[in-house]
Amino acid sequence: METILEARALTKDYEDFSLRGISLEVRRGSIAGIFGPNGAGKSTLIKVLTHQVPHRTGTVRVFGQSYEEHEPGIKNRIGYVPQEPAFYMDRSVRWTARFAAPYFANWDGSCFYKLLDDFKVNPLRQVKHLSGGQRKLLSLALALSHGADLLVLDEPTAGLDIVYRRALLDRLRAFVADGDRTVIVASHITDGLDEIAEDVWFLNDGRIVTHEDKDELLSRWKWIHFREGALPRAVEDRLKNVRRQPFGSSGLTDEFCELRDELATALAAGDARLENASLEDILLTQIPRRSAEVTQWCSLEVTLSGIGIWISKWREMQHHPRRRRARGCSGASVAGSEIHRISRVFVNSSIFPRR
């Protein structure tokens, strides 16, 4: 199948982050999903692929052409939906369309207003009065109204409720239905997008850690739920993300085909069962250190919340001297001691380097 976009050995450097050695090929007629945690480099990669920011090394070719020689022609064939669409908020949706139209050689106003009708977006309403989901769909309508052959979306489903998300996903399916047009989606949320993505890339810390056809990826990864002692120890030791609970244990494997025979006895006896893994399950195994980071930051959030609560109590007691005297102690001393205690926990938290 023809390659619509090809990137080779891309690097992009910022002061505190770098894309490193990114190579990928996107096939015509496919929906490609680039998934990863926040800060993995997805938005940076999308901006490099669409030539919004320059890369330090490597090459990008779209439709078989380079941006250096054919940038206007390439960009006329790309529809781009940013993570946070930028609009003139005091202007109407209709004014926004008139503003965008001259930038594209093949602008189709009738297509734009048909999409607005499908998305239930009022063209006379000011952008600032649209919901977040409606603004995202407005951005999608603009991207689909100038004859684009490649649609590139950055975090398209973030913040959308189930109704708007379904409308967006259905539109993406329709866009590639003829087999000639292509979609690239970048997101930290797999929900919904895992239904439509065909090729999957996992990005972490500026590097591609996994690339595979989605169906092949999901066929290898399975959840195994089992009773304690039901599996051979050698099998259990090969499972990932094992969760042990009183009523049974679960673990992930990407070696289901190799383990099938060793699981047969437990499966036949009903002591084990299989469940398909999701893309989110698989993604979490590629970034194991995030769980510790999330725990640390949650701990910090709880600590800060505790400090805020005790400060509020101290202020409240300042305004109630009778209650303070009735308790036989100073409100400032009670709250102060608690703040001191919580502050020690805060300073000693593992998110800070030990001396």
Give the CA count within 13 Å in the CB-facing half-sphere of 283.
23
Once rounded to an integer, what is the mean pLDDT over residues 181-207? 90
What pLDDT score does 301 carry? Answer: 44
- Name which of 40, 2, 1, 6 is nearest 184 in CA terms: 6
Q: Which residue has the higher pLDDT, 128 or 332?
A: 128
- Give me the mean pLDDT over the 115-131 stretch: 94
Rounded Cα–Cα distance for residues 256 and 265 (Å): 15
Instruction: Name every residue whose Cβ is closer than 8 Å to that of residue 45 and which is 6 or more positions away in sequence.
Output: 10, 12, 19, 22, 34, 186, 203
61-71 per-position pLDDT tens digit: 999 999 999 99
CA atoms within 13 A on the CB side of 244: 4
For 262-280, letters b (16+ CB in 10 Å) and e give: ebeebeeeebbeeeebebe
Residue 174, Cα to own-chain centre: how many angstroms?
22
User: Chain-wide mean pLDDT for the chain?
Assistant: 83
Q: What is the pLDDT of residues 42-56, one digit of tens each?
A: 999 999 999 999 999
Q: Where are the alpha helices (DSSP H) in the chain?
A: 42-49, 67-76, 93-100, 109-119, 132-143, 162-175, 193-196, 214-220, 233-236, 256-269, 279-286, 289-318, 321-326, 331-347
Asked whether the beta carbons of 271 and 227 are under 8 A apart, the reply is yes
pTM, full prediction:
0.77
Indicate the pLDDT class of residue 257, thresholds 50, 70 and 90. confident
Q: Which of 215, 275, 287, 219 is nearest to 251 (CA)?
A: 275
